[in-house]
Structure 1
Amino acid sequence: MAPLTRIEKEYHALAQEDPVASDDEYLREEVRKTSRNQCIRITIYLVIEALVFISVFFIYERYQAIPRDKPSFTERYFRLQDYNQTVHFTENVELMRKSSNSTKFWMDLQATSGIVSVPTEWALGLGFSPSRQSPETPGHSIYQLDMYHSLHCLYHIRNRLMSKLPLDVWPRDDVHSLHCVDFLRQQILCHGDTTLQGTDDFLHFAKNPGHLCRDTQAIRTWVEERNWAGHGKWIEDKYGVV
C-alpha cells in the first residue's frame, strides 16, 4: 500500500474526532463558566450589601451618640400653646352628678392646682406681670397656670348646682360663684372654638370631625415639674384654710 499523503493524514485525523462529544464538552464548559460567573456576582453583591448595612448601622450609631440639646425652658413653655390635638367631645352627665366616680374624676383633674415656681427673671423677660417671690426658692416667683383657675371655677359651680343645701344656707349667687361665671365667660371668648358644627335637624349642632385642642397632658406634665408643693400648707398657715 502506498504511503498516505500529508493531506490524507490530516483528513483522517479530523475524521476521527467526535463532533457531538466536542459540542457537549463545550456546552459543559460554558455552563461551568456561567455558574462561576454567577457565583462571583452573587458573592460580590452580598459583600456590597453587607458593607452598606454595616456602614448605615455605623452611621446610625454615631448619630445616636451625638449629644443633643434638650428643648430650652422657654421652648417647652411655648410649645404648650400649640393647638396640636384633635379631640372628640363625649357627653357624660354622670360625671357632673354627685357620686364616688365623679368625685374621683374631679379630684384627678385637680390633682395639682396649677401653682408653679419659675425663675423670676425668666417670667419678667417674657412680659408676665411681677408676682410674689417664692418663700422657698430664691430667684423664683409663684404663678398659677390659668387653665387650673378655670377648672377650679367649673368645679365650684358644679358643686353649687348639685348642692342639696337650701339657698339661704348656701346661696347660688354668691360673689365667688358669680366671679367664676364671669371668668369662664371671658375664657371662652378668649379661646373661641372655631369648629363648624353640623346638624341633622336644625336643632342640635354636634356633628364635627373633632376639635383642635392643646395638649392638656403636656400642660399637666409641665406644671407638675414646676409645682410649688408647699402652697397648700403656706395658705393654711397664713389664712387657716386650704
Structure 2
Amino acid sequence: MPNNVETKGYTYSQLGDSHDESSSSHGLVPSSTQRRNFHYLWTVLTVINTLVLGTNLMLLWQRHSISNPQQQVEEPLAPFMSSIDRTLHKKTFNAFEYNVTKYTARTSDVGDEVEKNWVDLGIYGAPIVIPMDEVEYFDISSDHVRLDPQTNPTAPYAGVSGKIQAQHYLHCVNLLRQGLWYNRDYYRAQRHPSWNEAQDVLYGEYTLSEIHTAHCIDQLRQLIMCEADMSVVPFLEGKEGMSFLDFERPKQCRSWQSFLKWHRERAWEGGRISEERNIPGHEIPFFSWSGH
C-alpha cells in the first residue's frame, strides 16, 4: 500500500497503526508543503491585519488631535517664560458689524481714548531681557547685543534684550489704524512719535513714515502667510437672497492677558525709548477681546 495519498492537489502521509504514539486520531496529517503554504498564508494575513490596525490607530489619533487641539505639541518656552499660560482657549471672533469697537473708533469721535486702549494692550511695551543661560532657546547670534549690569546699571541681569514679536505685530496694526485717512491728520496734529515731522525725512525715494508703514504691511503679510490659517468662513443666508460671510467663528487662542501679566513683571524699563514713555494708557488698563 502506498505511503502517500494524493487528494485534490494536496499530498498526505499515511498514518501508522493505532499503536504508533506519533499517530493522530485523524486519518491524515498535512505534508511539509501544505504546512509551508499555511504558514505563508498566516504571515500574509498577520501583516495585512497589522497594517489595517496601524492605519485605524493613526486616523483615530489625527481625529483626536483635531478635536482636542490642547493636546497638540506646544512650542518650547524658555524657563523664564514658564509662567505664561500657553494653553488654548476658545474665543469667538467678531461678526461683520455695521459699527466700530473701542479699538477702531474714529479719533474725531473719541480723541485719545482709542490710542489709550491700544496702549493698554502693550503695543509700546518695554523690551525684555533673555537670561544669558537661556539664549539657546532663541535664534541668538554673536551679532545680537549683550547686556551686562557692570557696563549698563539699568540691566536687571546679564542677557540679551529684545521685544516680543506679538507686541510688534499689534503695534503694526495700530500704526495702520493711525494712518487711515480719517485718523492721520489727528496724529500729525498731536505730533505723535509715529507721525511727527521727523517721520517726513527722506530715505532715498521714501519718507520714514512710508517706509515704516510698508514694513508693517509686509510683516503682517508674512505672518498671515506663515500661519496659513485653514479655518473656513462659511456663508450665511441674508435678506433678499443675499449671502454674507459668517466671521463670528470660534477659534482656539492663547491667553493675551497671561502674557501681559508676565510682561509687566519682566519688562526692562531702562530699555524703553523715550518717545514711548510719553504715550499714556489708562490708569486702570482696559482689555477686551471683542473691543466692545
Q: TM-score range by the shorter chain?
A: 0.5 to 0.7
Unaligned runs of at least 5 residues, structure 1: 1-72
1:180 pairs with 2:211 = no
Unaligned runs of at least 5 residues, structure 2: 1-76, 190-196, 201-206, 280-292
The offset of 1:197, in angstroms, is 1.6
Question: Matched residues in 1 for 2:80 and 2:132: separation?
Answer: 17
Question: Matched residues in 2 for 1:183 and 1:143: separation?
Answer: 17
Q: Against the structure 1 CA distance between its residues 160 and 138, is the aligned structure 2 distance closer, same or farther, given a 3 Å change threshold?
A: same
Q: Which has the higher helix share?
A: 1
CA RMSD of aligned residues (A): 3.6
Counterpart AA for 2:140: S
Per-residue deviation, residues 187-225 of structure 1 (Å, max 9, x unmatched): 112223332222114753225551111111122222222
Q: Equivalent residue for 2:271?
A: 231
DSSP 3-state at the match of 2:269: coil
Bigger shift: residues 223-232 or 169-178: 169-178
Q: Equivalent residue for 1:133?
A: 146
Q: Equivalent residue for 1:221?
A: 261
1:187-226 equivalences in 2 (<5 Å): 187-201=223-237, 203-207=243-247, 209-226=249-266
The offset of 1:157, in angstroms, is 1.1
Q: Equivalent residue for 1:151?
A: 170
Question: Matched residues in 2 for 1:207 and 1:156: separation?
Answer: 24
Per-residue deviation, residues 82-119 of structure 1 (Å, max 9, x unmatched): 45011111256243221243122112112652510120
Say if 2:124 and 2:171, in contact at 8 Å, map to a contact too: no
Q: Against the structure 1 CA distance between its residues 112 and 207, is the aligned structure 2 distance closer, same or farther, given a 3 Å change threshold?
A: closer
Consecutive aligned runs of 4 or more in structure 1 exceeding 6 Å deviation: 169-173
Say if 2:90 and 2:253, in contact at 8 Å, map to a contact too: yes
DSSP 3-state at the match of 1:110: coil
Question: Matched residues in 1 for 2:145 and 2:80: separation?
Answer: 23
Q: Equivalent residue for 2:89?
A: 85
Counterpart AA for 2:162: Y
How many percent of aligned residue pairs carry the same amino acid? 22
Counterpart AA for 2:127: I
Q: Against the structure 1 CA distance between its residues 228 and 194, is the aligned structure 2 distance closer, same or farther, given a 3 Å change threshold?
A: same
Question: Matched residues in 2 for 1:79 and 1:129: separation?
Answer: 22
CA radius of gyration, larger in: 1
Counterpart AA for 1:156: L
Counterpart AA for 1:93: V
TM-score of the two chains, using structure 2 as the length reference: 0.47
Question: Matched residues in 2 for 1:214 and 1:142: separation?
Answer: 24
The offset of 1:173, in angstroms, is 7.2
The offset of 1:79, in angstroms, is 7.8
Say if 2:122 and 2:167, in contact at 8 Å, map to a contact too: yes
TM-score of the two chains, using structure 1 as the length reference: 0.56
One of 128, 132, 151 as aligned partner of 1:120: 132
Q: How many residues align?
A: 164
Say if 2:83 and 2:262, in contact at 8 Å, map to a contact too: no
